[in-house]
Amino acid sequence: METHTKNFTAEEIRSALEQVKDPEIPVLSIVEMGMVSKIDADAEVPVVVLTPTFVGCPALNLIRQSAVEALKERGIHAEVKFDLSDKWTTNRLSPQAKEKLEKFGLAPPPYLSDEELTEEQLNRVRCPHCHSTDTTLRTAFGSTLCRAIRFCFTCRQAFEQFKPVA
């Protein structure tokens, strides 16, 4: 007799991955971060391909492990791997992800166009407290490598920013 393992759709796999948070940005899932670049649900063992965010991010192994665990909880046995050749940029953050970041008190990175990466573009950062754009970079490295500290001239408070990655 043939044994059948249940097949899962890419949507079911993606939904399970919504449970996996980025350890550095705990309000966002790896799906909202735009890290899930490919789901092959039709393979004998489903394959999930993730794009690493910040180069050398020490959390990569932890993220992979958490993804495998989250899938297992739903009975999905999948292979989870990183595509180190793929390049993640902060433009992959969904609009909802940026909203969540701002509510969390972390200024979302500005959208960066490929052509001209200007100082002006990089400085278009809105204060998460008062929404003023009259802000300046204070320290390139905040509490983690992914964050910078900026200062708002309007409400005169420092805030953290999710650094833009082009």
Where on the chain is the footprint of Zn ion (CB under 5 A)?
127, 129-130, 132, 152, 154-155
* Shortest distance, position 110 Cβ to Zn ion, whole Å: 16
Q: Which is nearer to Zn ion, 15 or 157 (CB)?
A: 157
Q: Which is nearer to Zn ion, 155 or 165 (CB)?
A: 155
Q: Which is nearer to Zn ion, 132 or 139 (CB)?
A: 132
Q: Which is nearer to Zn ion, 71 or 148 (CB)?
A: 148
* Shortest distance, position 27 Cβ to Zn ion, whole Å: 20
* Shortest distance, position 157 Cβ to Zn ion, whole Å: 6
Q: How many residues does the chain have?
A: 166
Contact 160, 106 (CB under 8 A): yes
* Shortest distance, position 96 Cβ to Zn ion, whole Å: 23
Alpha-carbon distance of 75 to 60, in angstroms, equals 23
* Shortest distance, position 5 Cβ to Zn ion, whole Å: 53
Q: What HEC string does 47-63 produce? A: EEEECCCCCCCCCHHHH
Q: Which is nearer to Zn ion, 21 or 129 (CB)?
A: 129
Contacts of 43 (CB under 8 A, 6+ apart): none
